[in-house]
Amino acid sequence: MRELSLNVLDIVQNSISAKSTIVNIEVNFYDKNKMRISITDDGCGMNQEQVMKVIDPFYTTRKTRKVGLGIPLFKMAAELTGGSLVIRSLPEKGTHISAEFVTDSIDMTPLGDMNSTILLLVRCNPDVDFVYSLTKDNDKREFNTKEIREILGEVPLDHPDVLEWIDGYLKEQFA
């Protein structure tokens, strides 16, 4: 994929398909040239055999196609930089995927537009809670739909005015 934000979108869609009600997305820049992207959900999880299979591009649980490229491409993007991918999952508990990248590698894929990715996830999945955090130079920014939902009461997250506000908030906080 051209941007890591698209890998994140694909993996989070897997989380939503796995019946997640909350998805945590963390981007952490550290040690001057390292970046970690972690996605944690509370979905149906996987057993160890399934965890081993999801890194195979010719394995998928979908019936509509015979390949599943999201996680294998994410793993490849990390490894091309000298980084790595770790998957931890337990049935009925959820899944944690963490990819580490060496950001000064010539093979580093751009992070891309995470703000648009988060906005699209909220727009298309207004009943799922998302927590997105970005940490860089010891400055941590966080966006949490559960907090917004508590303030809004009955107003849905996919209401056009709410989405417009979320878009502005993400642009301001995560510039």
Confidence at residue 68, expressed as pLDDT on a 0 to 100 scale = 54
Length of the chain: 175
Confidence at residue 175, expressed as pLDDT on a 0 to 100 scale = 82
46-68 confidence digits (pLDDT tens): 999 988 888 877 656 555 544 45
97-107 confidence digits (pLDDT tens): 999 999 999 99
Residue stretches of the chain with pLDDT short of 50: 65-67
The crossing angle, in degrees rounded to 10, of helices 114-124 and 4-17 is 20
Confidence at residue 53, expressed as pLDDT on a 0 to 100 scale = 85
Confidence at residue 66, expressed as pLDDT on a 0 to 100 scale = 43
Confidence at residue 70, expressed as pLDDT on a 0 to 100 scale = 82
CA–CA separation, 56 vs 61, rounded Å?
12
8 Å CB contact between 119 and 11: no
Helix (H) or strand (E) holding 146: helix 145-152
Helix (H) or strand (E) holding 155: none
Confidence at residue 60, expressed as pLDDT on a 0 to 100 scale = 60
CA–CA separation, 171 vs 165, rounded Å?
10
